[in-house]
Amino acid sequence: MTETTTDLTTLPPGPAIKGKLSRDDIVMRGGMIVIALYLVVTLALPLYVMLSKSFSTYRFELSQYEMQVSDQDGVFDGTVLNPADLNAAVGAFDSADLSTGSDGRLPVSKLFPDFNFRSPVMYQIRNAQPGGRFLVGSTLHDEDTWLELDSNSFRRVQLRPMKFTGLDNFSNYFSTPALFNSIKNSLFIAVISTVITATLAFWFAYALNRSCMRFKGAFRLIAMAPILVPSLLPGIALVYLFGNQGMLKELLFGASIYGPIGIIIGSVFFTFPHAFLIISTALAISDARLYEAAVSLRASPWRTFWTVTIPSARYGLISAGFVVFNLVITDFGLPKVIGGQFNMLAVDIYKQVIGQQNFEMGAVVSVVLIVPAIFAFALDRYVQSKQVATLSSRSVPFQPSPDAKMDRIFLIYSSLVGVFIIGILAVCQFAALIKFWPYDLSLSLNNYQFDRMDGGGWASYYNSIKLGLLTAVIGTSVIFFGAYLVEKSNGFRVGRSLFQMIAMLPMAIPGMVLGLAYIFFFNNPANPLNWIYGTMAILVISAVTHFYTVSHLTAVTALKQMDREFESVSSSLKQPTLKLFSRVTVPVCLPAVLDISIYLFVNAMTTVSAVVFLYSPKTSLASIAVLNMDDAGDIAPAAAMGMMIFYTNAAARILHLIASKGILRRTQAWRAR
Amino acid sequence: MPLVSQISQIIPAVYGGLGRDVSARAHSADRRTNLVTQATASGDLYLSITNLWKAFGDFLALKDISLDINEGEFICFLGPSGCGKTTLLRAIAGLDLQTRGQVFQDGKDVSNLPPSERDFGIVFQSYALFPNLTIEKNIAFGLENTGRSKPEITARVAELLQLVGLPEQGKKYPAQLSGGQQQRIALARAIATNPGLLLLDEPLSALDAKVRVHLRHEIKELQRKLGVTTVMVTHDQEEALTMADRIVVMNQGVIEQVGSPTEIYREPANLFVAGFIGEMNQIDSSVASGGKLSLGSENYACISHKFATGSPVIAAIRPEDIIPHEAGFVPDAQNSDCIEVMLREMEFLGSFWRCHLHSDRFGASELIADFSINAVRRLELGEGKAMVVELPENRLMAFARPEAV
């Protein structure tokens, strides 16, 4: 025997054992790659195209062309003219005329002051450098041979611009006060709304979690109501309340609701449930033992509040703040309806794209909007990752004890918040049923005759339901299956963490930006997926992608609670993983699956920003109809349609509740002991 | 037997066969001198692990593990948490592949096969029963898609329920059963397809003490009845001692000792095994002339060892091996060496007294001895009293001192 001893501190050299892939491994990796590709095609690529658009500028390069002019007899003397020199001499176009968009066209005949389309003079034109292009009528010429044209044809010669990459669009943006002021406006509105919403929601959640006041269940329901309506609906209510002919106009003492005040009040309304949910969760998990310790140390309630309650809820508060900030700064519907002359970033994108057809500038504003959105998103993720670490499994839930005086104060406070929320909805419903505010207050259903207004009529309402259902079914299947693959497959670590990262991205991308990116990406005739542009498919895809992250996180949370050895047991029993998935995983996770589907349905029904660039006359949607009818001055029908969305979503929620209870009773008998 | 020849062709290394495998074998065997007892004669070689390494990044969870397991054997991997025992089990199952090294099962190289292409049943600490399926469907899960007809499956499920002693519970859901019952169902599910190898990953750790003792016995009975080769991971030494045919003691990614429960307990290969299993007095000592161990000014006879005179060692003896005598006892030729001590403290532990013995020779440390109720009564022992204890020559062991860290 040799005396050498094995070195136990280092691996012996050689390749690591490479596992043979089972059929399941291959199926699961394949599935994961397919879903990752879906996200790349519907998210990463469009965003990339949009980003590159924001750096693209188009300019007419006159020096790229050469021309010749004949005498009155049509004889050329061989003199070659450069259009740039001609322009310098004639001054037909200044430099602003020469910078244009991707669709720009420049008529060259203007370079010849004595041009007349009836004259017998002949012209020749050619591209002097490769890459130059010009149109004769609608025929494109990019060859460098001379083309001879008579005057009448030369009239129809138009130069096409060259594409350049650079920061011109951005310098343009930042030198236009009307545009970059929006940054200030957006930040201002978002910060103020965040502070107000977080404060209101905190005390509301506090009342529900930490007091013994009555009607808690009802208040919880009311607090969640705004989630069921499009964000622009509170705007319409505010117009009725405080607008030029508003019921309570005097309360504003001459200030106008059209502008910051209206946007902030509306933002508080539509972001309230989001903040309330997050803060309520944070308050619900507080540890009773800390309060017992505080009492035994004779700390005053005030001191206990600041040393126990606030610190334990601070991550919830911060998280709620970021979520509200993000919602407000990326929202489009509300400032569109009630913003008046007050410009905000999301509305700017809309104005640039729809109003001015300046897609490049739209892309620039989008990039500007992404920055704070991603910033808030990243901070929120960071804060949430810290919160997990503060949870202790030994915590004892806090049980509030009755305090007549405080309970009454909380009841009054909660009632005020409740009146605000119900009030906004009631005003909308009232507005929808009034014949002609404020002159004819008799009730009628005239405003529900959507087919007589702009906006697509009842068809858009049915389209919305179709979109909601398709998004719920397709989205839930794709997202839950994707989460399963990434959570429960073996090895493939790099691929899985990459997938997780891509799945987090949609949350950081504002709907408007996603929509605009889709225009650039899918409306390109060279894209093989071009055919989905203008169909229901692109609306479903944009909705699924836009709401991917929250659904993915819900699915992952549910899957994490499943015993991670189920897959090991199943493979040791030589059963396909897909059998385990359908027989065990899906049934056990059914509550989460149902939650995801109702989340997708409600959001697809209410979203405006994700679809406003993508709908076609055939696929108009209810939320878009609200926007367009309001735009056209049909505010009452807009309110009526908005309330239709509310009732539909409320019904869907109730149906979801009944269905999940029924399904749970049938398929989850094992839960009962 | 054809099986043997088959194996010896495929894995000559195991049998110290020919060619380069010999050197590889000798290489590692040298280091493992007296660690690995050769496979006992009870059955043919079934599972063979050779030079297995597992790395998690820079951390080495398993370092050059080699081990042979015979058909029908009940093997326990025993060690403190983080010693690599579960990692080794998961490598055998193919759930987490090793970084280097090979696993042979039933003559077949399964080193890189996925779990679904290996032949084993597995039971986890968490039971991992499918909560939404009834007990029957849980057990039948692995029987489906295997060419069995429905009546066959039903019959097999009934048979298995009978086997684990829960014939009436088939229609219930897992949550309706107690922990012990759930673990029996998990066991039934794992053996439903008659796997050649049964892997148990801390199967009893989640149960309360009484149920654990009872189920320990049942699992062992079942294993004997089925004759299935079984590997169980546990950190509970009592479990390992009562259930295993052979115990594999692991620590920090290496095998410290392999042996039968009595071997492991009575002849620990090193200080780690001695300290990890059972109670063991450990006193700093050195080797005196004639191989005796010196404690203070006197020398004590002990089991023969390989340490040179003068080398520092640890003298070790189990508390129950110390023999009590009354004060003033004079040893004769039949007795081993004795030592006068003072009884400093006594703890009543039910069936015996645990006594803390003090002597200037031990310095600050104490000798712990377990005396029977009888002996305490007979010798009228009490706290503060002087007495003599005998350290039997064949129970006093010498171990190398761990290197100062």
| Sheet containing A122-127, strands listed edge to edge, beginning at the edge strand earlier in sequence | A65-69, A122-127, A147-150
Residue of A22, A488, A569 to mutate when probing chain B, most B C-beta within 10 A: A569
Query: Is the distance from CB of B52 to CB of B102 less than 8 angstroms?
Result: yes
User: B260-277 burial, b for 16+ CB within 10 Å, e for fewer?
Assistant: bbeebbeebbbbbbbebb
> Whose CA is closest to B86, among B169, B193, B192, B202?
B202
Residue contact A588–B131, C-beta within 8 A: yes
Say what the pLDDT of residue A670 is.
Answer: 63
For the record, the structure tokens of B256 come out as 């410290």
- Interchain CB contact of B65 with A (< 8 Å): no
- Interchain CB contact of B312 with A (< 8 Å): no
A590 to chain B: nearest residue by CA?
B132
Nearest-by-Cβ selection for A17 from B98, B130, B254:
B98
- Interchain CB contact of B53 with A (< 8 Å): yes
pLDDT in 10s for each residue of chain B, 405 residues: 344 444 333 333 333 333 333 333 333 333 333 334 444 445 789 999 999 999 998 899 999 999 999 999 999 999 999 999 999 999 999 999 999 999 999 999 999 999 999 999 999 999 999 998 999 999 999 999 888 999 999 999 999 999 999 999 899 999 889 999 999 999 999 999 999 999 999 999 888 888 999 999 999 999 999 999 999 999 999 999 999 999 999 999 999 999 999 999 999 999 999 999 999 999 888 898 888 888 877 888 888 888 989 889 999 999 999 999 988 888 887 788 888 899 999 999 998 999 999 988 777 778 999 999 999 999 999 999 999 999 998 999 999 988 754
- Interchain CB contact of B61 with A (< 8 Å): no
pTM of the entire structure? 0.84
Say what the pLDDT of residue B34 is.
Answer: 37
Residues in contact with B31: Cβ distance below 8 Å, sequence separation at least 6, in sequence order = A5, A6, B64
Residues in contact with B95: Cβ distance below 8 Å, sequence separation at least 6, in sequence order = A490, A568, B115
Residue of A582, A670, A671, A673 to mutate when probing chain B, most B C-beta within 10 A: A670
Distance from CA of B155 to the nearest CA of A (A): 18
Say what the pLDDT of residue A595 is.
Answer: 92
Say what the pLDDT of residue B404 is.
Answer: 57
Q: Which residues of A touch B142 (CB under 8 A)?
A: 572-575
Strand partners, B284: B314
Distance from CA of B374 to the nearest CA of A (A): 46
Burial class from Cβ neighbours inside 10 Å (0-12, 13-18, 19+) for residue B198 reads buried
Q: Which residues of A touch B113 (CB under 8 A)?
A: 19-20
- Interchain CB contact of B56 with A (< 8 Å): no
Residue of A572, A575, A590 to mutate when probing chain B, most B C-beta within 10 A: A572
C-alpha of A191 from chain center: 19
**Beta carbons within 10 angstroms of residue A101's beta carbon:** 15
> Whose CA is closest to A197, among A273, A108, A112, A308?
A273
Say what the pLDDT of residue B199 is.
Answer: 97
Distance from CA of A504 to the nearest CA of B (A): 27
Report pLDDT digits (tens) over A494-513: 888 888 888 988 988 999 99
| Rounded Cα gap, residues A483 and A471, in angstroms | 17
Q: Which residues of chain A have pLDDT under 50?
A: 1-4, 389, 391, 673
C-alpha of A550 from chain center: 12
- Which residue numbers of A have CB closer than 8 Å to B's CBs? 1-6, 8-9, 11-12, 14, 16-25, 490, 563, 565-566, 568-576, 579, 583-584, 587-588, 667-671, 673
| Sheet containing A99-100, strands listed edge to edge, beginning at the edge strand earlier in sequence | A99-100, A56-59, A162-165
**Beta carbons within 10 angstroms of residue B368's beta carbon:** 18
DSSP string, A544-558: HHHTHHHHHHHHHHH
* 3-state secondary structure at position A380: helix
Nearest-by-Cβ selection for A568 from B115, B131, B254:
B115
| Rounded Cα gap, residues A493 and B117, in angstroms | 22
Domains of chain B: 33-120+195-273 (3.40.50.300), 284-400 (2.40.50.100)
Query: Is the distance from CB of A587 to CB of A670 less than 8 angstroms?
Result: no
| Rounded Cα gap, residues B157 and B143, in angstroms | 9
Whole-angstrom CA distances from B348 to B40, B238, B343 are 41, 21, 14
Distance from CA of A664 to the nearest CA of B (A): 11
Domains of chain A: 62-161 (no CATH), 180-434 (1.10.3720.10), 453-671 (1.10.3720.10)
Query: Is the distance from CB of A288 to CB of A344 less than 8 angstroms?
Result: no
Residue contact A574–B116, C-beta within 8 A: yes
Say what the pLDDT of residue B21 is.
Answer: 35
| Rounded Cα gap, residues B229 and B248, in angstroms | 15
Longest dimension (CA), chain B: 79
Query: Is the distance from CB of B46 to CB of B66 less than 8 angstroms?
Result: no
Say what the pLDDT of residue A668 is.
Answer: 60
Report the relative pairing of strands B74-78 and B246-251 from DSSP bridges.
Answer: parallel
Q: Which residues of B touch A563 (CB under 8 A)?
A: 124, 126, 128
Say what the pLDDT of residue B38 is.
Answer: 44
Q: Is the ipTM of this complex over 0.85?
A: no
Nearest-by-Cβ selection for B142 from A20, A563, A575:
A575
Residue contact A565–B27, C-beta within 8 A: no
